[in-house]
Structures are given as structure tokens and as C-alpha cells.
């Protein structure tokens, strides 16, 4: 017998069940990267005969455009039994503009979407490049521009100001705050040496662009179980675009990730951002997979 209910907070036992489900999904799919249940929003747990078989988290705060965003996962050994469909129906019963992620463009998600009349609203491409053999030359900067690395406690506000202007169109990135950046600095993966800033000479603190890199630990179900680097965020102030600064920042980060001995680098880019895809293709990146958002 199956049942599901929405709740604003998980108790300790429920949180443990969700961690086990997310861990099982990551072992099978390589996703999600985090197995800690998200905080805030709403949680929907679907049980069958006392066992947690499906989990949904709904971010009720929404993205930068006010759309609520859901993540839905069914335990791998309980798929193809209707649990994903019923969890999706429960989401669709709610009011408001809603987006539902399907990481890896999972075929099961596509079947549910077709059954319930959902449309592909967003395609987030995952591009990858093998490091060996790549010709990533020294970055070329315009006159009057220099590169340095991020200094915690000094650069947060300047980076967030550039980020907000560079990503005012982006559903997630444009909403990043100073407090969230500072919280990320406490994460084990944060590496200030791999966080490159471009600033105008003679105007200390005038940041006009940045490249924030990331290194993911080994994941047995993705990328051959090896650690992988990521072009995490490249942001250029709109007033500094068009002069090759984005490419220079990207090269600085790629060369740094290569120096760390990584064999593969990935990045995420919107599927409809043809200019960015073209730039990354010239740097040796190709399509690896895609994450899809569905909507009504």
C-alpha cells in the first residue's frame, strides 16, 4: 500500500530515510551530488509498505523569476511502478508556475512528462573535455586589465555585484547573495586559488569579471569514477564584454585545473546559448549529457 504527504520539515527518522534513498539514486545514476535533504521548501515522501520509495523537494521560494522548482527521485529498485507518476501528479495539483528537473534527461522522466502533458521548458547542457592533448594557451588580456585570485573577506561584494549584472537573465545564478558566497567558502571543495578575478589596473577593487572553478570528488557512476574539474561560473560585467575577457578568464581556470592533474573538465551551459556553446566547442568541449526542466 502506497501513501505520500507534504511536510515543511523532516524529522530525524525521515531525514535518514531520504539520505538512504538519495544515496541509492547516486549509486545508480551518479546524481544527486548531495545526499543531505535540502533545507526549506516542502518535502513529499512516498512510502510503500513502510519503505520510502519516492521523494520530492519543492523549492517554494522559487528561482529568480518566481517559478517554484522541484526535484523528484524514485528509489532505483522501485522504478517503473507508477511512483514517479503519482509524485508528479501531486506536484501538478499545486497552484503556481512550476518547473520539474529531470537530471541526465532520464527516459523515465520523459515518459512521465509525455503521459501528463508536460513540455520541455529548459535544456541545461553538460559539456566535457578530456584534458590530455588540449591546447589551452596563456590568457591574453586587454591593456589595462590584470588577473589575480579571490581573497576571502575582501572580494565578496565586488564579485556579487558583477555576478548580478552578468546573470540578470539566469534563473538561479543571478540571485546569488554575499551571504551565500561566504557560506560556500566554508565548503570543503572551495578553493580560492582556483577563483580568478579580472580587474582594471589602477582601480583596485574594480572587478570586471571572474572565473570560479570547482573540483568534484570521485563519483563511481559518473566520469569513470575519477575526480573532475568544472568551469563552475564565468561572469563578465556587461560593460566589459566583447573584448575576449570571458575567453581569457576561462583559459586561466582551465590551465589551473590541468595543473592540478585532473583528466576531465566539465561545464554547464544553457542549450539555447549558441554563442557560449560555440566558444566552448572551440576549446575542446563536447556534449556529455543534459539536464531538463519540464513545465505545464
Is there a binding annotation on residue 209? no
- Determine the Cα–Cα distance for residues 48 and 50; give it in Å rounded to an integer: 5
CA nearest neighbour of 192 among 155, 247, 137, 236: 155
- Determine the Cα–Cα distance for residues 114 and 91; give it in Å rounded to an integer: 15
- 150's CB contacts (< 8 A; 6+ apart) are 159, 192, 195, 196, 197, 210, 212
Is there a binding annotation on residue 36? yes
Is there a binding annotation on residue 172? yes
Is there a binding annotation on residue 259? no
Is there a binding annotation on residue 68? no
Is there a binding annotation on residue 40? no
- 151's CB contacts (< 8 A; 6+ apart) are 192
Is there a binding annotation on residue 244? yes
49 CB-contact burial (10 Å; exposed 0-12 / middle 13-18 / buried 19+): exposed
Is there a binding annotation on residue 74? yes
Is there a binding annotation on residue 45? no
How far from chain centre, in Å, is Cα 155? 22
Is there a binding annotation on residue 281? no
- Determine the Cα–Cα distance for residues 127 and 122; give it in Å rounded to an integer: 16
Is there a binding annotation on residue 85? yes
Is there a binding annotation on residue 246? yes
Is there a binding annotation on residue 185? no
Is there a binding annotation on residue 214? yes
Rounded to 5 degrees, what angle do the CA atoms 189, 194, 198 make? 140
> Alpha helices of 200-293 — where are they, by DSSP H?
245-259, 274-282
Is there a binding annotation on residue 289? no
Is there a binding annotation on residue 241? yes
Is there a binding annotation on residue 236? yes
Is there a binding annotation on residue 83? yes
Known binding residues for acetyl-CoA are 72-74, 80-85, 234-236, 241-247
| Residue numbering of the annotated binding site | 36, 72-74, 80-85, 172, 214, 230, 234-236, 241-247, 268
Amino acid at each position: 500500500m502506497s501513501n505520500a504527504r507534504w511536510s515543511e520539515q523532516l524529522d530525524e527518522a525521515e531525514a535518514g530515510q531520504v539520505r538512504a534513498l538519495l544515496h541509492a539514486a547516486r549509486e545508480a545514476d551518479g546524481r544527486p551530488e548531495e545526499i543531505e535533504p535540502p533545507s526549506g521548501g516542502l518535502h513529499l515522501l512516498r512510502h510503500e509498505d513502510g519503505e520510502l520509495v519516492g521523494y520530492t523537494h519543492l523549492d517554494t521560494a522559487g528561482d529568480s523569476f518566481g517559478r517554484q522548482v522541484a526535484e523528484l527521485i524514485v528509489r532505483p529498485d522501485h522504478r517503473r511502478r507508477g511512483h514517479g507518476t503519482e509524485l508528479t501528479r501531486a506536484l501538478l495539483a499545486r497552484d503556481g508556475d512550476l518547473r520539474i528537473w529531470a537530471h541526465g534527461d532520464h527516459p523515465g522522466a520523459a515518459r512521465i512528462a509525455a503521459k501528463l502533458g508536460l513540455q520541455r521548458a529548459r535544456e541545461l547542457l553538460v559539456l566535457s573535455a578530456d584534458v590530455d592533448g588540449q591546447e589551452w594557451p596563456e590568457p591574453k588580456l586587454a591593456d589595462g586589465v590584470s588577473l589575480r585570485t579571490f581573497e576571502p573577506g575582501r572580494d565578496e561584494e565586488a564579485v556579487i555585484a558583477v555576478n548580478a549584472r552578468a546573470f540578470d537573465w539566469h534563473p538561479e545564478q543571478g540571485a546569488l547573495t554575499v551571504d551565500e558566497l561566504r557560506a560556500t567558502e566554508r565548503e570543503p571543495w572551495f578553493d580560492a586559488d582556483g577563483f580568478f578575478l579580472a580587474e582594471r589596473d589602477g582601480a583596485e577593487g574594480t572587478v570586471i569579471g571572474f572565473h570560479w572553478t570547482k573540483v568534484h570528488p570521485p563519483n563511481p557512476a559518473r566520469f569513470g569514477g575519477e575526480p573532475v574539474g568544472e568551469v563552475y561560473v564565468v561572469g563578465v560585467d556587461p560593460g566589459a564584454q566583447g573584448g575576449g575577457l570571458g575567453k581569457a578568464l576561462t583559459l586561466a581556470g582551465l590551465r589551473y585545473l590541468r595543473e592540478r592533474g585532473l583528466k576531465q573538465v566539465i561545464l554547464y551551459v544553457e542549450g539555447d546559448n549558441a554563442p557560449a556553446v560555440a566558444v566552448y566547442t572551440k576549446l575542446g568541449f563536447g556534449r556529455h549529457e543534459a539536464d531538463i526542466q519540464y513545465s505545464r
